[in-house]
Amino acid sequence: MTDILPGKVKGLGEKTIEKLAGANITSLELLAMTTAEDLKAILKITNKDARAIIQQAKDIALETALVPKSLDDLIKRRKEVIQTFSTGSAELDKIMGGGVQTWAITILKGPFSCHDEVTNILTPSGIKHWSKIELGDLVYSIDKQRNIIATPVKNIYVYNYKGLMYYFNSKKINLVITGNHTLPIRTSKRNCEWLKASEVAGKTQASVMTKFNSKGLGKKCFNVKEYLPEEILDYPKKSHLKDRRYIFSTNNFLELIGWYLSEGSVMHGDNDYISINNSKYKEEIKNLLDSMNLHYGFYENRRFTIFNKWLSRYCVQRCGEGSINKTIPSEILGLSKKHLKHLLKSIMMGDGSASGYTYYTVSPSLRDTFIILCLKLGYHPSYITLDKTGERFTIRGKPFTAKHIAYQIQLGKNSKGFLQIKKRKARITKFNDRLIFSSGSNNLKLVPYEGIIWCLETNGAFFVERNGKISLAGNSGKSQIGFQASVSCIKSGRKVGWVETEATTFIPERVLEIAEAQGVKVNTSSTGEGGDFVVYTSEDIIDVEKQLLAYEALGRKMEEGVDIGLLIVDSFSPHFRSTYQKRETFGARNQMTAKHLAYLNYLAAKYNVAILLTSQIMGVPDDQKQGLTKMQEASTTAMYGGSSLQHGGTHILALTRVSRAKQIWKATMVDSPYLPDADAYFRIGPGGISDVSRTRGPA
């Protein structure tokens, strides 16, 4: 840009230049593109004088700002200036023309899969609606050995959506998901592969992985005082409290807790005690209490009273008091399977069915924690809600009126999550002038949907609940190539600028892990002290305007001499989605997108910077646009940002996960002005990105 200086343009002095600056006309190029009407209003001059000033500015700008280049000049500059930063995978670098290139914008569009609004999430504190989840909250996931673990939420994605979704419904599976959402499909007794919903729909039948493992903690003894609050530990000593023991055999303790959860209560007074009421298994309960050497009484041939202060306090404080408030404490759920089997045994003897595979409770918290217990023991539970409040029943010969909603939980032993995809003749129906395909099976339908969809980003898949059925779900994420390219850029001697628009997508520990594995030293101090990163985080970048301002802040640092070679925007599109939601705002969205991309292109060319953007993709709901997208990219998904983002990038790569267990991904070059369409397979590991041996295929 060429500054406007006094005397350079006839009729413009210091005061008129100040007026132009007040109207954001700060360069000859901007002045040359101003209309005569606007300039007339700003400077209060005649139309003739305004046209004369604009023409002078245009003549000067054409002489100085626009200098034509010969092909020889361009070829020489590209050879001398353009750098590439390796992704860590030679195969991926190859299809990208050597790696992430400077003087270009590379867009990574990654898989984005979503659930419908009524799908919930399984957490250590129970089943929660997605709107109750916050960043950093723990949700249940699995590790590579399919052990159930708790993992923190890195990101939460929520969008408005109108289009088609896949509805899977079977005895153990109930999901409404987008077509690129992945499901764990069994390939053998112990193995599975993650297939997109659209791929599962193409099968005749499929079996979803539903059995998982659990490690847990092995403890010979359980100390109940470790889990009681300080004020409870100061309980006054009284002579009539005969049993003050608080350490018990873990297995015996869990059996007793199971009886408390199903048949027990705590009676309060000078001497609190546990009451367990069951005549059918009185011998089993008596033998348990004797083996624990507990002081107890037995009344009416059915009721046991257990006099132990610490057990009574533990049951009230950690297991809940009253049938509606009971729960299984987290310290118990964290124990090993061999211990948890004892808990399940006594719970089922108390409130289970004769078959041993159905359990009843009126406590929502106990329902949720019992489901977690079952999952950890290798079952695949599901539940239904029974609203019988106000109805009268006879239980054990006594009249009873239901006061609460009840939950019936099926343990689901040896369930394989079977889905019959194609059974009857397929049907085609019409919805909003669109054809909808039905597979002919109640297990799968393609249904119209309009409303909120959501997804989480975690370290792995996560468990969801819909209509009482528990499933394992895939999740989102695309930042790894950026981490690897950052290390390559620093290795070359240049610095990295990172614009984070979604909380916790920039993980400095991950960058340092990759750098250490590759022997690269990263300076973690500020750039003023020689640091290698300039990072603007999501706590400051709260809208599209702040996002654009972050680019300009990086541009100013480059102008001051900070040698930034790689600028990453992760992700480019979330603030655009939240700001421009309705169709009538799409024009404004495209204008703002173009403004962002124009400035990024300017930085790329002027300072020889590699620009790397990440963007989510989603199925295109309109049939005609689906066809166009499929012709352009051999896909029915498009990037958020529409055609402006599509045409604003130099290279566009689509990322899809091939194998979750092996962390193998496929990158497809779908658009480039000179690179051919091609695929590359790579693996994400602790040390970064690496190649995948193709001798046996990508998975």
Q: Measured between alpha carbons, how far is 403 from 322 in angstroms, rounded to an integer?
A: 13
Question: Which CATH number is 120-211+415-473's, of 3.40.50.300, 2.170.16.10, 1.20.1440.20, 3.30.390.10?
Answer: 2.170.16.10
Q: Strand, coil or helix: what is 217?
A: strand
The string of pLDDT tens digits covering residues 647-674 is 667 788 888 767 655 778 788 888 888 8
How far apart are the C-alpha atoms of 476 and 617, rounded to whole Å?
11
pLDDT at 173 over 90: no
Q: Give the residue-averaged pLDDT of 270-277.
A: 86
Radius of gyration of the chain (CA): 32
Task: Tell me whether residue 481 is exposed, middle or buried, using C-beta atoms within 10 angstroms of its C-beta: 0 to 12, 13 to 18, 19 or more.
Answer: buried
Residue 395's pLDDT band, with cuts at 50, 70 and 90, is low
Write the CATH number of the domain with boundaries 221-357.
Answer: 3.10.28.10
User: pLDDT tens digits for 508-552?
Assistant: 877 888 888 889 999 988 766 678 999 888 778 888 888 999 999
**Residue 298, pLDDT score:** 92
Residue 626 has pLDDT above 60, yes or no: no
Which H/E stretch holds residue 510? Answer: helix 508-517
Per domain, the residue ranges of the chain are 14-64, 86-111+478-691, 120-211+415-473, 221-357
Using 50, 70 and 90 to split pLDDT, how confident is the model at 235? Answer: low
Instruction: Establish whether the linkage from the previous residue to 571 is cis, with ω within 30° of 0.
Output: yes
pLDDT at 396: 53
Please, what is the end-to-end C-alpha distance for the chain in angstroms? 51
Tokens 């546990």: give the residue. Answer: 274
Per residue in 55-70, pLDDT (tens digit) is: 988 888 777 655 666 7
User: CA geometry: angle at 112 spanning 108 and 117, to 5°?
Assistant: 155
CATH architecture observed for domain 86-111+478-691: 3-Layer(aba) Sandwich (3.40)
Q: What is the pLDDT of residues 327-337, one digit of tens each?
A: 999 999 999 99
Mean pLDDT for 254-267 is: 95
Check residues 605 and 399 and name the one with the higher pLDDT. 605
Burial (Cβ within 10 Å: 0-12, 13-18, ≥19) of residue 428: exposed
More confident residue, 564 or 418: 564
- pLDDT bucket at 693, cuts 50 / 70 / 90: low
Helices (H) then strands (E): counts for the chain: 21, 38
Query: Can you tell me the mean pLDDT for 238-250?
Result: 71
For the chain, percent of residues with pLDDT exceeding 90: 31
Confidence of residue 505 (pLDDT cuts 50, 70, 90): low
Residue 316 has pLDDT above 60, yes or no: yes
CA-to-CA distance for 109 and 637, rounded, in angstroms?
A: 10
Average of per-residue pLDDT across 190-218? 78
> CA angle, corner 625, sides to 621 and 626, nearest 5?
65
Structure tokens at 536: 């603007």
Instruction: Tell me: pLDDT of 430 over 70.
Output: no
User: What pLDDT, on a 0 to 100 scale, did the predictor assign at position 422?
Assistant: 46
Q: Is the pLDDT of residue 319 over 90?
A: yes
- Tell whether the model's pLDDT for residue 482 goes beyond 90: no
pLDDT band at 699 (very low <50, low <70, confident <90, very high): very low
Mean pLDDT lowest for which of 25-39, 104-118, 208-222, 523-537?
104-118
Strands 564-570 and 610-619: parallel
pLDDT of residue 686: 73
Smallest CA-to-CA distance from 299 within 312, 282, 313 is with: 282
**Mean pLDDT score, 68-82:** 76
With bands split at pLDDT 50, 70 and 90, how would you rate the model's confidence at 442?
Answer: low
What is the pLDDT of the chain when averaged over all its residues? Answer: 80
Q: 38-50 pLDDT, tens per residue?
A: 899 999 999 999 9
The architecture in CATH of the region 14-64 reads: Orthogonal Bundle (1.10)
Angle at CA 106, nearest 5°, toward 105 and 112?
A: 130
Relative to beta strand 155-169, strand 444-457 is: antiparallel
DSSP characters over 79-140: HHH--EE--S-HHHHHHTTSSEESSEEEEEEE----B-TT-EEEETTEEEEGGG--TT-EEE
Instruction: Give yes or no for residue 94 having a pLDDT over 60.
Output: yes
**In whole angstroms, what is the distance from residue 684 CA to residue 659 CA?**
11
From CA 170, how far away is CA 445, in angstroms rounded? 11
Asked whether the domain spanning 86-111+478-691 has the same topology as the one spanning 14-64, the reply is no
